[in-house]
Structure 1
Amino acid sequence: VRRAMPGAEEADPEPGADPRLRLLGAYVARSLRPAAGAWERCAGTAEAERLLHAFLGREDAGSPQPLLVVRPGPGGLALRPGLDAGPEAGPPRAKGLFFLRTGPEPPGPRSLRGAVLCGDVPAAPLEHLAALFSQVVVPVLANEKNHRGWPHVVCQDVQRHAHGLQGDLLVILEQVNGKTVLPLPAGADEVGFVDSDSDSALDCTEKSVIYAIESAVIQWSRRVRGVLKRESSQPLLQGENPTPRTELEFWKSRAEDLEHVYNQLRAIKVRGMARLLDRVHSSYFPAFQAMCRDVVAGEDA
């Protein structure tokens, strides 16, 4: 979340104090709600004074490096250069605050308006990005009113890339939680369940949708093979000293992951995709069947 800095009229600086530092501190207090006096103690350290002086001063080589304010512990604050919170940035669910200069010219002595941008760094940036993409970016791109006049090929390409990035974000998110995701291809929502006695669904299905489904089967097969090839001996081969508890946790995690994959393969949309591949006599339908058999065999192992 990015915002323009408020003007100096919102702060009442003390005589002799830099009003720009007071404005920064006021925004830190509103956003992070630290303990009383935390910003003053943070900004009073030698390292913080150096960073703030460089940030608010003139930079001939371009815009100064951004600043990031984090909470490394209860009630405390830390000022870091750049946007990397570092390994000791604080609790995993704690948010931060960044300050960004908009140009090489330093802000005025009594106002940061137009010269500094600031915004929150979410507690879970990846989840925040995924939600933003799925709830804002993809719906905007999917709305036909937003790309009137675009060539049909351009519309398809933009939507395909957006859908692919959304799937990649979902895969990464679930990998963090130890789960394997099989993202649905673009156009899967339009496939539904193909009736075995009707050819109407086949007649209205675009070849691009069938191609997307076949490409998805290839990606899914690779991910499933990766799950099935995992060995409990991997920590030992990496020089670690796993305990029997590590072995039990591995097999428990593997079983839960395979069950998660199996439930995805049994979803109505995926079954409709498989039926469509069967109806068009796709060469990838046997690969889909083999993948399902491998997952079932892996669960029973």
Structure 2
Amino acid sequence: MAGPEEEEGSPAEDAPGSDPRVRLLGERVVRSLRLKPERWERCAGSPEAQPLLRGFLEGAAGQPPLLLVTLSPAGQLALSTQLPASPGRSKALFFLRRGPGPLSAPPGPGELLYGDLPASSLEHFAALVEEVVAPVLANQKNHHSWPHVVSQDIMRHVHSLKSNIFVVIGQVKGKTLLPLPAGSERMEYIDCENEKIVELVDKSLVHAIESTVIEWSYQIQGALKRESSEPLLQGSNPNPKVELEFWKNRYEDLECIYNQLKTQKVRKMAELLDRVQSSYFPAFKAMFRDVVEGEIWAPSLLLIAQTGI
């Protein structure tokens, strides 16, 4: 006759610490989030966490292959099978099961993926692209077996990815960030005072600057045409503080745009367009003038909004 410790469904058998796969997850969580093992043991043993752990480890039907471990501001661990709708304030850890069925103990090669999810995922992704992906793809030593057309296309897509990420980061922060054109790092070596600048300058650089002027115009016009009445037109009922916040953000955004346009590099880009008699130079001047006028009026409009409140 089996003893109590061998009976099916006994507490000793169901204890989370008895499963080596749970211990493996715990080791990764403790190491990544720098916690004491007891914190993980309490979390894994809670009634809320046990079904999620069991479903993830056994590959139950309908169970997502993702397990997310988050740390609340109060220091409490929590498990979830879905990514949060909004980013948290602290780092999280994910586990991803690659195949169907129960997870092996220990997991085989490629059977389990895990990694950190930083609190600022977008900035983390931007840093990854800037410091890892872009340098690898842009390294000419990696292009030796590629046709020139393929190499140029890869470089164009890499720059486009970096620019798009830069713009999105600005949108998340409520700012209009203007990505520089490909090759803009060469502007500091170009002498716009040289009489032969038209013949010496790389035409592809001029084309890149002209394309950037078009993109900037769309971004800036979008910022200038934004109206404080938009929430009202969308059916919401904004209070006076919303109006004040709009004009405050507008002033800060226009100041941000102006500071970008007056940098030395952008001024040299405008000077180059002028020297080569580009048809986009008048568009650049008009764009800059619109920003200056908007920035001049923004403080007065902000003051009026503050007085009204």
The normalised TM-score by structure 1 is: 0.83
1:198 pairs, out of 183, 194, 204, with 194
Structure of higher RCO (CA pairs closer than 8 Å, 6+ residues apart): 1
Task: Select 1:292's aligned residue among 269, 288, 291.
Answer: 288
Aligned to 2:107: 112
Q: Give me the whole-angstrom Cα distance separating, in 2, the residues matched to 1:19 and 1:86.
A: 32
Structure 1 position 176, deviation (Å)? 1.6
AA of the residue aligned to 1:112? P
Q: 1:132 aligns with which of 120, 128, 135?
A: 128
Work out the CA distance in 2 between the residues paired with 1:292 and 1:140.
Answer: 36
Shift of 1:161: 0.8
The whole-number CA distance in structure 1 between the counterparts of 2:57 and 2:237 is 51
CA contact (8 A) 2:192 2:272 kept: no
Between the aligned partners of 1:300 and 1:133, the Cα distance in structure 2 is 37
In the other structure, the counterpart of 1:20 is 21
- Separation in structure 2 between the aligned mates of residue 200 and residue 113 of structure 1, nearest angstrom: 65
State percent identity of aligned pairs. Answer: 55
Residues 67-119 of structure 1, C-alpha deviations (whole Å, 9 max, x = no match): 1111235232221114x1245x7xx320111112233364433x235232211
The Cα shift of 1:293 comes to 0.7
Partner of 1:80: 80
2:17, 2:23 within 8 Å by CA — same for their partners in 1? no
Q: Is the 8 A contact 2:176 2:253 kept in 1?
A: yes
Say whether 1:66 aligns with 2:61. Answer: no
Q: Which runs of 5+ in 2 are unaligned?
A: 1-14, 298-309
Cα distance in 2 between the residues matched to 1:150 and 1:164: 20
Q: In the alignment, which residue of structure 1 is the partner of 2:304?
A: none
Q: CA deviation at 1:286?
A: 1.0
- Determine which of 127, 141, 144 is the counterpart of 1:145: 141
Structure 1 residues 199 and 156: alpha-carbon distance in aligned structure 2, compared to 1, 3 A threshold: farther
Aligned mates of 1:253, 1:45 — CA distance in 2? 45
Give the match's secondary structure for 2:180.
coil
Aligned to 1:213: 209
Partner of 1:93: 89
Paired residue type of 2:173 = N
RMSD of aligned C-alpha atoms? 2.7
The aligned amino acid for 1:74 is A
Alpha-carbon distance in 2 for matches of 1:202, 1:143:
29
Q: Secondary structure at the match of 1:192?
A: helix
Q: Which structure has the greater CA radius of gyration?
A: 2
Name whichever structure is richer in helix by fraction.
2
Give the Å deviation of 1:180. 0.7
CA distance in 2, matches of 1:194, 1:271: 12
Determine if contact 1:193/1:271 at 8 Å carries over to the other structure.
Answer: no
C-alpha contact 1:180 1:260 (8 A) present in aligned 2: yes
Q: Could you tell me which of 245, 250, 274 is aligned with 2:241?
A: 245
Q: Which amino acid aligns with 1:280?
A: V
1:36 Cα offset (Å): 5.8
Please tell me the residue identity of whatever aligns with 1:141. Answer: L
Residues 70 and 78 of structure 1 are in contact (CA less than 8 Å); yes or no, is this contact kept in structure 2? yes
CA distance 1:190–1:15, shift in 2 (3 Å): closer
Q: Distance in 2 between matches of 1:144 and 1:241?
A: 56
Task: Deviation per CA, 1:193-241: give whole Å up to 9, x if none.
Answer: 7544424443343332222211111110011111111122223333444
**Is contact 1:274–1:285 with CA below 8 Å preserved after alignment?**
yes
1:27 partner letter: R
Alpha-carbon distance change, 254 to 221 in structure 1, aligned in 2, over 3 angstroms = same
Aligned partner (choices 268, 276, 283) of residue 272 of structure 2: 276
Find the residue that maps to 1:74 and give its secondary structure. Answer: coil
Deviation at 1:59, TM superposition (A): 6.7
In 1, the alpha carbon distance for the partners of 2:133 and 2:197 equals: 29
**Secondary structure, aligned partner of 1:67:** strand
Aligned residue identity for 1:223: Q
Letter in 1 for 2:107: L
CA distance in 2, matches of 1:95, 1:58: 26
Flag the 1:148–1:44 CA change in 2: closer, same or farther, 3 A: same
